[in-house]
């Protein structure tokens, strides 16, 4: 079997055996939730509610604040307590709509497409009292779902503009981390040049298995979601890109797609950062993407697995984007697993609902250990792009003793962008920004492969990141 791959990359300890095969569970939200108005790239959403308003689950809390922006919805019913500052995963303070959960979980009425009646009857659990009563997390086969949904038949009644409108109205964003508004990403300037829709199921980040659970437990919905995206373009191929350390997911999708002519599965060689957009596009299509390009410029649209599921719910069921699956893992987690979590939930409530810590962690990361963000507290909040909380009993990074570079070249071999990280890090450290730019420092994808592979334990990725941010700040200031 052909395995798709790219040059460079590393093989960190995966840690996925802790959670990969554990059944999905739901987490009940706490008494207060905070919905950040900036859960995406672009302009913050503008609050459309005020203190004292009663809201329902699925109700709009904040309208998109511009073309590149996304709507924000409540995941619970309750009372708006006000607009206050809350800290994002990256550490900055962001406006948030604070909602006091009334525990009733009353929902707005959704707008499913004609033809979805059998699916809703089978899987869309009727509203009731209590969080468990309205969440259906049991696995289902692709065949059962596709027989009930019949995506080709249902979508035949919609135009591409209507599909895109339903995605926009639901506030769907890229849920792999970047948070780019989906309705903008799926409307490139020249849609006729798009020939690949890549469903990114690589999930190369260590310890994180939320996308794997979707691939195994919701394959039919993912296929239907991909078909909705294909509706937006002409003659395109849909590709499920899955690393070969996930054989069950590969076999599940291959079996479900055996009669499809325009959708196939591309098994990828397990290697970090296979899931980075540029690495994935290179692996599948052999096309290059640089920092001045978008994936669309290479004829590709890359869609995270969780995003594809959100597209399914938005297009077929009319449901807004206010839930996601998160992995809670690491050696400090008492009960690692994958959990269905409402957006707006505080990390402290997620941790408590997931069983707490078996030992107070020295390091808590929002995301995984390679590209996640270290947290100074447990008071962050879940957003559409929250994939994981990873807790470690020991902060190994803080114990590292840096030694001088020995010019071994391992960082060069590991870099998927074909850079010389050791030199770029030194240029950034000494503020030689013109030289940094001339040596393609802005092409770094922040994957951290260089730091991981460095025997001298130099903080190469952090230095290069700082250099890139300084260059970007200088450009922004020059435009003022």
Side-chain half-sphere of 262: how many Cα atoms within 13 Å? 16
Residue 36 lies in a domain: no
- What is the distance between the alpha carbons of residues 363 and 375, in angstroms, rounded to a whole number? 7
Residue 152 lies in a domain: yes
**Closest among 328, 382, 330, 324 to 355, alpha carbons compared:** 328
Q: Does 304 lie in the same domain as 193?
A: yes
Q: Does 311 lie in the same domain as 430?
A: no
Count of beta carbons in the 10 Å neighbourhood of residue 357: 18
Residue 209 lies in a domain: yes
Domain count, the chain: 2
Residue 205 lies in a domain: yes
Residue 19 in tokens: 């959670």
Any idea what DSSP says for residue 37? Answer: S
What's the pTM value of the predicted model, to 2 decimals? 0.96
* Strand spans (E) along 252-360: 263-268, 300-304, 323-329, 337-342
- What is the distance between the alpha carbons of residues 393 and 391, in angstroms, rounded to a whole number? 7
Any idea what DSSP says for residue 248? Answer: H
Q: Does 310 lie in the same domain as 427?
A: no
Do residues 98 and 34 touch, judged by C-beta distance below 8 A? yes
Do residues 299 and 196 touch, judged by C-beta distance below 8 A? yes
Among 301, 317, 333, residue at a domain's last position? 317
**Closest among 360, 364, 454 to 404, alpha carbons compared:** 454
Q: Which residues contact 438 (CB under 8 A, 6 or more apart)?
A: none
The predicted-structure confidence for 65-115, as pLDDT tens digits, reads as follows 999 999 999 999 999 999 999 999 999 999 999 999 999 989 899 999 999
Any idea what DSSP says for residue 158? Answer: S
**Closest among 372, 4, 377 to 207, alpha carbons compared:** 372
Residue 265 lies in a domain: yes
* Strand spans (E) along 67-179: 72-73, 78-87, 93-101
Q: Does 300 lie in the same domain as 193?
A: yes
Residue 95 lies in a domain: no
User: What distance, in Å, lies between the first and last C-alpha atoms of the chain?
Assistant: 54
Question: 337-342 and 323-329 as β-strands: parallel, antiparallel, unpaired?
Answer: antiparallel
Residues paired with residue 266 on neighbouring β-strands, in sequence order: 241
Among 259, 282, 317, residue at a domain's last position? 317
The predicted-structure confidence for 306-363, as pLDDT tens digits, reads as follows 999 999 999 999 999 999 999 999 999 999 999 999 999 999 999 999 999 999 999 9
Among 297, 317, 337, residue at a domain's last position? 317
- What is the distance between the alpha carbons of residues 142 and 136, in angstroms, rounded to a whole number? 16
Q: Does 307 lie in the same domain as 434?
A: no
- What is the distance between the alpha carbons of residues 97 and 32, in angstroms, rounded to a whole number? 10
Q: Does 279 lie in the same domain as 151?
A: yes
Q: Does 304 lie in the same domain as 422?
A: no
Residue 79 lies in a domain: no
Residue 133 in tokens: 């009563």
CATH number for the domain that contains residue 152: 3.40.50.11540
Count of beta carbons in the 10 Å neighbourhood of residue 291: 13
Q: Does 291 lie in the same domain as 424?
A: no
Domain residues for the domain of 432 are 410-479
Q: Does 294 lie in the same domain as 182?
A: yes
Q: Does 422 lie in the same domain as 311?
A: no
Residue with tokens 């497409």: 113
Average pLDDT for consecutive 10-residue bins of the chain (480 residues)?
Answer: 88 96 92 97 97 97 97 97 95 96 92 95 70 74 95 95 98 92 96 96 97 96 98 94 97 96 96 96 96 95 97 96 96 96 97 96 96 94 97 93 95 97 97 96 96 96 96 88
Q: Does 308 lie in the same domain as 414?
A: no
Residue 369 lies in a domain: no
């Amino acid at each position: 079997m052909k395995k798709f791959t790219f040059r460079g990359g590393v093989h960190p300890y995966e840690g996925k055996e802790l959670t990969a095969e554990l059944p999905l569970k739901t987490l009940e939200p706490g008494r207060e939730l905070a919905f950040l108005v900036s859960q995406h790239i672009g302009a913050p959403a503008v609050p459309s509610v005020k203190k004292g308003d009663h809201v329902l689950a699925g109700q709009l809390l904040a309208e998109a604040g511009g073309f590149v922006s996304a709507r924000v919805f409540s995941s619970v019913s309750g009372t708006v307590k006000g607009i206050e500052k809350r800290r994002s995963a990256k550490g900055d303070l962001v406006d948030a709509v604070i909602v006091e959960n009334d525990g009733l979980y009353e929902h707005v009425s959704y707008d499913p497409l004609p033809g979805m009646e059998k699916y809703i009857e089978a899987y869309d659990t009727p509203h009731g009292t209590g969080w468990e009563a309205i969440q259906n997390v049991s696995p289902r086969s692709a065949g059962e779902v596709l027989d009930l949904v019949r995506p080709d038949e249902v979508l035949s009644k919609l135009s591409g503009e209507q599909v895109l409108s339903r995605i926009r109205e639901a506030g769907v964003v890229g849920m792999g981390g970047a948070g780019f508004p989906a309705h903008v990403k799926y409307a490139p300037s020249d849609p006729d040049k798009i020939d690949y829709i890549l469903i990114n199921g690589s999930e190369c980040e260590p310890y994180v298995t939320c996308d794997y659970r979707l691939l195994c437990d919701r394959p039919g919905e993912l296929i239907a979601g991909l078909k909705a995206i294909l509706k937006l373009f002409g003659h395109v191929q849909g590709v499920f890109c899955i690393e070969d350390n996930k054989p069950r997911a590969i076999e599940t999708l291959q079996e479900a797609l055996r009669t499809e002519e325009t959708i196939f599965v591309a098994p990828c060689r397990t290697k970090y950062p296979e899931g980075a957009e540029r690495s994935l596009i290179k692996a599948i299509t052999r096309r290059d993407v640089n920092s001045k390009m978008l994936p669309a410029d290479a004829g590709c649209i890359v869609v995270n697995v969780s995003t594809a599921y959100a597209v399914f719910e938005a297009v077929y069921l009319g449901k807004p984007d206010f839930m996601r699956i998160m992995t809670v893992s690491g050696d400090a987690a008492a009960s690692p697993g994958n959990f269905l979590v409402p957006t707006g939930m505080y990390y402290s409530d997620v941790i408590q609902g997931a069983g707490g810590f078996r030992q107070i962690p020295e390091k808590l990361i929002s995301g995984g250990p390679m590209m996640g963000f270290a947290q100074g507290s447990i008071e962050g909040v879940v957003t559409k792009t929250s994939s994981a909380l990873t807790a470690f009993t020991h902060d190994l990074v803080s114990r590292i003793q840096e030694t001088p570079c020995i010019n071994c070249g391992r960082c060069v071999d590991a870099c998927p962008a074909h850079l010389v990280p050791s030199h770029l890090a030194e240029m950034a450290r000494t503020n030689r920004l013109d030289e940094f730019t001339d040596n393609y420092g802005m092409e770094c994808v922040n994957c951290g492969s260089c730091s991981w592979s460095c025997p001298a334990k130099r903080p190469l990725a952090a230095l290069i990141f700082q250099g890139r941010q300084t260059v970007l700040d200088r450009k922004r200031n020059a435009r003022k």
